[in-house]
Structure 1
């Protein structure tokens, strides 16, 4: 299993955004931020992908289902060949002023908190366990 993570300052732009140029600009931002954390030795994922997105917000958060597709599209050709490889998606939103617990804080996630504003923590995992839980 190979893991890649990065952060993007928020708020995110919804797939439902009326202004399409705003959505395009958001995808470019996500891609540029991902590229900052991408090492040149890393290869594009070719198998199944788990995409994990956590949106840490300040006051008003958008619906989590509307933030996935632009991020997924922005990572095509970098973290994976095509977004059809994404077999699993875990999306969460957490109020920065609320109560939540973080286990195993990575340096990248800590960087997001240190910026002092809302952000998204995005993790891409190649070849996740394909077990189906019932």
Structure 2
């Protein structure tokens, strides 16, 4: 499993070229810091979880679906060989203002990934950020919601 935290607001496909380039650079830097020697997933399908922690009351929040492509394009050749390998993406936009930073109150954090909790609790000033997980895909053919033959 690969875990990345990218600080900042993800950019939409409709953003300016300069803005998109800045976001892609941030994603690439986070990936290179975690995986210095190239893609872990060179072949085969991969699954991604994209959790965007943001202030939803801020003006001009980009659509969630429009920030996915620039982010995953930036990971190409760094985490996986080709974004075609992505077979399953789970995405969420989470309001930072709805979460308590007090660990004694946040009992739900026990089920959160350690890297995410550490970032959330230890940040002096909590800015918007994206938490990404890239993993081997679940076997969707065994999903309980599929009709049984």
TM-score, normalised via structure 1 length:
0.84
Q: Identify, as 1 or 2, the structure richer in helix.
A: 2
Query: Equivalent residue for 1:118?
Result: 128
Residue in 1 aligned with 2:116?
109
Question: Which protein is bigger by CA-based radius of gyration?
Answer: 2
Q: Give, in whole Å, the separation in 2 of the partners of 1:68 and 1:10.
A: 14
Pick which of 70-79 and 36-45 moved more. 36-45
Structure 2 match to 1:98: 98
**Number of residues of Structure 1 aligned to a counterpart in Structure 2:** 131
* Aligned position for 2:63: 63
- Contact kept, 8 Å, 2:38 with 2:79, in 1: the verdict is no
The answer for the alignment partner of 1:34 in structure 2 is 31
TM-score with structure 2 setting the length: 0.76
Paired residues of 2:4 and 2:132 also in contact (CA < 8 A): yes
- What residue is the counterpart of 2:84 in the other structure? 84
Deviation sequence 1:38-61 (CA, Å, 0-9, x none) = 264973341111111000112334
Give runs of ≥4 in structure 1 deviating > 4 Å: 39-42, 99-103
| Aligned mates of 2:111, 2:83 — CA distance in 1 | 28
RMSD: 2.2
SS in 1 for 2:51: strand
